[in-house]
A = this chain, B = another copy of it.
Amino acid sequence: MKDSSDDDFDRIDLKILRALQSEGRLTNADLAERVNVSPATCHRRTQRLFEEGHITGVRAEVAPAAVGLGALVMVGVVLDRSTPESFAAFEGAVLEMKEVLDCNLVAGDFDYLLKIRVRDMADFNKLHGQKLIALPGVRQTRTFFVMKEVKENARLPF
């Protein structure tokens, strides 16, 4: 158990979380008005949500195409061995690859599912040939090029 207080939000906390999840740069004054609380209370509540780790960060979403990352690729990875050392080595290496946006250990036909952003298909080919299949313990990969991003990083439903 954690050090801080119990983990239950009242209506105000939930409103703050929802508002900031949609508009992370809301002014404390605006947020207070939207939540029907005085600015002082709103400030304290928000500060607490950050301090207790319920809000893990606030991030601007940069349009991928604007920074030359127009291609999205999902990759399923199967490892050689299913030992803890094997998993750890793979995970450590993946954490160093900045092109890998998501990496999840899954149950199913793959060991890991990766989400990767690169400039284009040629770029991915290079990445695949030079880095992906060279990651520790990789036996096989399966590539899914994304042809259309229907929904991306939607807000949490709560």
Chain A residues with a Cβ under 8 A of chain B: 7, 9, 17, 20-25, 53-64, 66-69, 72, 74, 91, 94-95, 98-110, 112-113, 117, 142-158
Contacts and interface: CB of A to CB of B under 8 A. Distances in A.
20 contacts: A7-B66, A17-B60, A24-B24, A24-B60, A54-B66, A55-B62, A57-B60, A69-B158, A74-B106, A91-B150, A94-B150, A94-B151, A98-B154, A100-B154, A104-B151, A104-B152, A108-B142, A108-B144, A108-B145, A117-B156
Number of copies: 2
A20 B152 CA distance: 19
Contacts of A150: 91, 94-95, 103-105, 112
A24 to B, nearest CB: 4
A67 B17 contact: yes
